[in-house]
Amino acid sequence: MSPSDLRLGIDLGCSRLTGAIVDADHRVHAERRLAVPVGDYSATVAAIVEMVGILESDVGIEGLPVGVATPGRLNASRHLICGSHADWLNNRPLPRDLAATLGRNVRTAHKAGCLAGAEQRSGGSAGARRVFAAVLGSGVSGALMIDGRLVGGANGFAGAWGHNSLPWPSAAEMRGAPTCGCGLSGCIEAWLSGPGMSRDHERRGGHALAAPDIVARAEAGERLAGITLRDWLARSARAFAMVINLIEPEIIVVGGGLSRIRWLYSEVPKIWARHCATDDLRTTLVPAAHGEVSIACGAALLWPEPGA
Ligand SMILES: [Zn+2]
């Protein structure tokens, strides 16, 4: 292992950082998690800097290239984070502030783009020509990769799927459409994010629970939790069907905390065909092969391969 082979990536979540150091062959040499204060931009910057120090100490090398996967995207003209469900990051010059604090350049990209990059190079979508990467977590985002290249788009937000309206809503869903952090109502993120599932469960009379607890109760046979999970899966299927109808991906790869819900991969493909414009649907739905650390690996890979 040469020090020049290593790169450091951090997945910035609402309340947690996931960091990894990877080499040119995409092997993970160090992996860490760190709580990050919710709602505090300065503390978020400080936590990222602390994470860099911890990871570099793990491998005994300083000054590694750093990439950060962010919720929201970087405004192309003003270089400020925008569209993040973690709203304390919006309109903040995160790359500039991190570079100033760390004393080195820092690359940033949105989480879904990092997920797409990591999975395309050595993960579940390696070799596929048309891939949609979806992040289901405290927020919902997406990215489109065609022939190994991330599609940016004229405005830089191609694949930003979370703030489309949930398709084919029932009358009850139209009446009860939840308000989204973007200010609209009924967005896919408002339904499918972890907080979205929690709010939906409470609306139907359930306890205030985090999404993994709802899933665990559903799997244990609790009726109300089972209904919440069933509806979440059906809405996921409709939201993915819209993506299939628009861009026909070979593979949809899912990352983020809710990608651990195994029912996604067994149940959603049974439902989505009803909403797709073909009776011979070949798109597959897979979890991120790199698991929880996939987005952090993708952030590290924002830096070019050594010698590239
Ligand atoms: Zn929205």
Distance 184 CA to ligand 1 centre (A): 5
Q: Average the pLDDT over 206-219 and give the result.
A: 97
Bridge partners for 82 per DSSP: 73
Which position has the higher pLDDT, 153 or 138? 138
Q: Average the pLDDT over 159-169 and give the result.
A: 94
pLDDT at 290 over 90: no
How far is 82 from 74, CA to CA, in rounded Å? 6
pLDDT at 106 over 80: yes
* Residue 173 φ then ψ, to 5°: -70, -35
Q: Average the pLDDT over 8-35 and give the result.
A: 93
pLDDT at 154 over 70: yes
pLDDT band at 72 (very low <50, low <70, confident <90, very high): confident
CB 139 within 8 A of CB 99: no
Distance 123 CA to ligand 1 centre (A): 29
Amino acid 124: pLDDT: 77
**Unique residue bearing structure tokens 């408002």:** 190
- Return the amino acid letter for 226: G
**Unique residue bearing structure tokens 């609306």:** 203
Q: Domain spanning 127-287: which CATH class is it, in words? A: alpha beta
Q: Average the pLDDT over 26-41 and give the result.
A: 92
Distance 118 CA to ligand 1 centre (A): 26
Amino acid 306: pLDDT: 57
Please write the tens of the pLDDT for every residue from 174-200.
999 999 988 999 999 999 999 999 999
CB atoms within 10 A of CB 146: 14
Q: CB-hemisphere CA count at 13 Å for 159?
A: 29
CB atoms within 10 A of CB 272: 24
- Return the amino acid letter for 192: L
Amino acid 82: pLDDT: 83
Amino acid 1: pLDDT: 55
pLDDT at 37 over 90: no
Q: Average the pLDDT over 213-236 and give the result.
A: 98
CB 225 within 8 A of CB 217: yes
Distance 146 CA to ligand 1 centre (A): 25
Closest by CA to 59, choosing from 5, 118, 123, 115, is: 5
Amino acid 245: pLDDT: 94
| Percentage with pLDDT > 70 across the chain | 98
pLDDT at 2 over 80: no
Distance 213 CA to ligand 1 centre (A): 25
Amino acid 287: pLDDT: 96
Q: Average the pLDDT over 265-285 and give the result.
A: 92
pLDDT, mean over the chain: 92
Amino acid 192: pLDDT: 98
How far is 234 from 168, CA to CA, in rounded Å? 11
Distance 65 CA to ligand 1 centre (A): 33
CB 196 within 8 A of CB 178: yes
Distance 277 CA to ligand 1 centre (A): 26
Distance 185 CA to ligand 1 centre (A): 7
Q: CB-hemisphere CA count at 13 Å for 12?
A: 36
Question: Which residues place a Cβ less than 5 A from the ion ligand 1?
Answer: 163, 180, 182, 184, 187
Q: Average the pLDDT over 133-138 and give the result.
A: 95
Q: Average the pLDDT over 238-247 and give the result.
A: 95
Distance 6 CA to ligand 1 centre (A): 37
Place domain 3-114+293-300 in its CATH homologous superfamily. Answer: ATPase, nucleotide binding domain (3.30.420.40)
Distance 257 CA to ligand 1 centre (A): 19
The CATH 3.30.420.40 domain(s) of the chain lie at 3-114+293-300, 127-287
pLDDT band at 120 (very low <50, low <70, confident <90, very high): confident
As a three-state string, the secondary structure of the chain is: CCHHHCEEEEEECCCEEEEEEECCCCCEEEEEEEECCCCCHHHHHHHHHHHHHHHHHHHCCCCCCEEEEECCEECCCCCCEECCCCHHHCCCCHHHHHHHHHCCCEEEEEHHHHHHHHHHHHCCCCCCCEEEEEEECCCEEEEEEECCEECCCCCCCCCCHHHCECCCCCHHHHHCCCECCCCCECEHHHHHCHHHHHHHHHHCCCCCCCHHHHHHHHHCCCHHHHHHHHHHHHHHHHHHHHHHHHHCCCEEEEECHHHHCCHHHHHHHHHHHHHCCCCCCCCEEEECCCHHHHHHHHHHCCCCCCCC
pLDDT at 305 over 80: no
CB 294 within 8 A of CB 115: yes
Q: Average the pLDDT over 140-150 and give the result.
A: 93
Distance 181 CA to ligand 1 centre (A): 6
pLDDT at 145 over 90: yes
CB atoms within 10 A of CB 212: 14
Q: Average the pLDDT over 243-272 and give the result.
A: 95
Distance 276 CA to ligand 1 centre (A): 23
Distance 137 CA to ligand 1 centre (A): 14
